[in-house]
Protein backbone atom coordinates (compact mmCIF):
# COMPACT_ATOMS: atom_id res chain seq x y z
CA UNK A 1 0.00 0.00 0.00
CA UNK A 2 1.40 3.39 -0.99
CA UNK A 3 1.66 6.08 1.65
CA UNK A 4 -0.05 9.36 0.94
CA UNK A 5 2.25 12.36 0.65
CA UNK A 6 0.76 15.47 2.22
CA UNK A 7 1.90 18.92 1.16
CA UNK A 8 2.78 21.42 3.89
CA UNK A 9 -0.31 23.41 2.91
CA UNK A 10 -2.57 20.39 3.33
CA UNK A 11 -1.06 19.57 6.73
CA UNK A 12 -1.58 23.15 7.89
CA UNK A 13 -5.19 23.13 6.70
CA UNK A 14 -5.92 19.89 8.54
CA UNK A 15 -4.26 21.02 11.78
CA UNK A 16 -6.01 24.39 11.74
CA UNK A 17 -9.31 22.68 11.09
CA UNK A 18 -8.63 20.42 14.07
CA UNK A 19 -7.90 23.38 16.31
CA UNK A 20 -11.43 24.64 15.77
CA UNK A 21 -13.69 23.23 18.43
CA UNK A 22 -16.54 22.84 15.96
CA UNK A 23 -15.21 19.53 14.63
CA UNK A 24 -14.46 16.31 16.51
CA UNK A 25 -10.92 15.08 16.03
CA UNK A 26 -12.06 11.56 15.20
CA UNK A 27 -14.32 12.89 12.43
CA UNK A 28 -11.53 15.07 11.07
CA UNK A 29 -9.07 12.18 10.99
CA UNK A 30 -11.62 9.90 9.34
CA UNK A 31 -12.37 12.53 6.70
CA UNK A 32 -8.70 12.86 5.74
CA UNK A 33 -7.87 9.22 6.45
CA UNK A 34 -5.09 9.97 8.91
CA UNK A 35 -4.52 8.62 12.38
CA UNK A 36 -4.98 10.78 15.43
CA UNK A 37 -1.32 10.15 16.20
CA UNK A 38 -0.39 11.67 12.84
CA UNK A 39 -2.61 14.66 13.53
CA UNK A 40 -0.98 15.25 16.92
CA UNK A 41 2.50 14.99 15.41
CA UNK A 42 1.63 17.64 12.84
CA UNK A 43 -0.01 19.82 15.49
CA UNK A 44 2.97 19.55 17.83
CA UNK A 45 5.38 20.43 15.04
CA UNK A 46 3.28 23.42 13.97
CA UNK A 47 3.00 24.78 17.48
CA UNK A 48 6.66 24.07 18.19
CA UNK A 49 7.84 25.97 15.11
CA UNK A 50 5.20 28.74 15.03
CA UNK A 51 7.44 31.21 16.87
CA UNK A 52 9.72 31.33 13.83
CA UNK A 53 7.05 33.25 11.93
CA UNK A 54 7.71 36.21 14.22
CA UNK A 55 11.51 36.04 14.23
CA UNK A 56 13.28 39.14 13.10
CA UNK A 57 14.23 38.87 9.46
CA UNK A 58 12.15 35.77 8.96
CA UNK A 59 12.76 32.97 6.53
CA UNK A 60 13.03 35.18 3.45
CA UNK A 61 16.20 36.92 4.61
CA UNK A 62 17.77 33.59 5.53
CA UNK A 63 16.93 32.24 2.09
CA UNK A 64 18.30 35.35 0.40
CA UNK A 65 21.54 35.05 2.35
CA UNK A 66 21.89 31.38 1.41
CA UNK A 67 21.16 32.10 -2.24
CA UNK A 68 23.78 34.86 -2.30
CA UNK A 69 26.34 32.56 -0.70
CA UNK A 70 25.44 29.87 -3.23
CA UNK A 71 26.01 32.31 -6.12
CA UNK A 72 29.40 33.31 -4.71
CA UNK A 73 30.47 29.69 -4.32
CA UNK A 74 29.38 28.85 -7.87
CA UNK A 75 31.43 31.78 -9.15
CA UNK A 76 34.47 30.57 -7.23
CA UNK A 77 34.02 27.04 -8.57
CA UNK A 78 33.71 28.40 -12.10
CA UNK A 79 36.86 30.49 -11.71
CA UNK A 80 38.81 27.53 -10.31
CA UNK A 81 37.61 25.30 -13.12
CA UNK A 82 38.83 27.82 -15.70
CA UNK A 83 42.22 28.04 -13.91
CA UNK A 84 42.57 24.26 -13.89
CA UNK A 85 41.79 24.05 -17.60
CA UNK A 86 44.37 26.74 -18.34
CA UNK A 87 47.00 24.78 -16.43
CA UNK A 88 46.20 21.55 -18.29
CA UNK A 89 47.35 23.03 -21.60
State whether 60 and 79 are in the same domain: yes
- Residue pLDDT, tens place only, 57-82: 666 777 888 999 999 999 999 999 99
Instruction: Give the percent of the chain with pLDDT over 90.
Output: 61
Residue 47, domain extent: 1-54
State whether 50 and 73 are in the same domain: no
Please state whether the predicted TM-score (pTM) of the whole model is above 0.85.
no
Q: pLDDT class for 12, splitting at 50, 70, 90?
A: very high
pLDDT recorded at residue 38: 96
The larger pLDDT score, comparing residue 21 to residue 19, is at 19
pLDDT recorded at residue 63: 82
Domain count, the chain: 2
Dihedral in degrees, nearest 10, Cα atoms 34, 35, 39, 40: -170
Give the residue among 7, 9, 1, 6 at the shortest CA–CA distance from 34. 6
State whether 40 and 71 are in the same domain: no
23-42: average pLDDT: 95
User: Please, which residues have CB within 8 angstroms of residue 39's CB and are 6 or more apart in sequence?
Assistant: 14, 15, 18, 25, 28, 29
Amino acid sequence: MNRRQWTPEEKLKIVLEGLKESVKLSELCNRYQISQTQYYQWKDRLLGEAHKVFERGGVDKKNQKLEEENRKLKTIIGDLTVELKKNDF
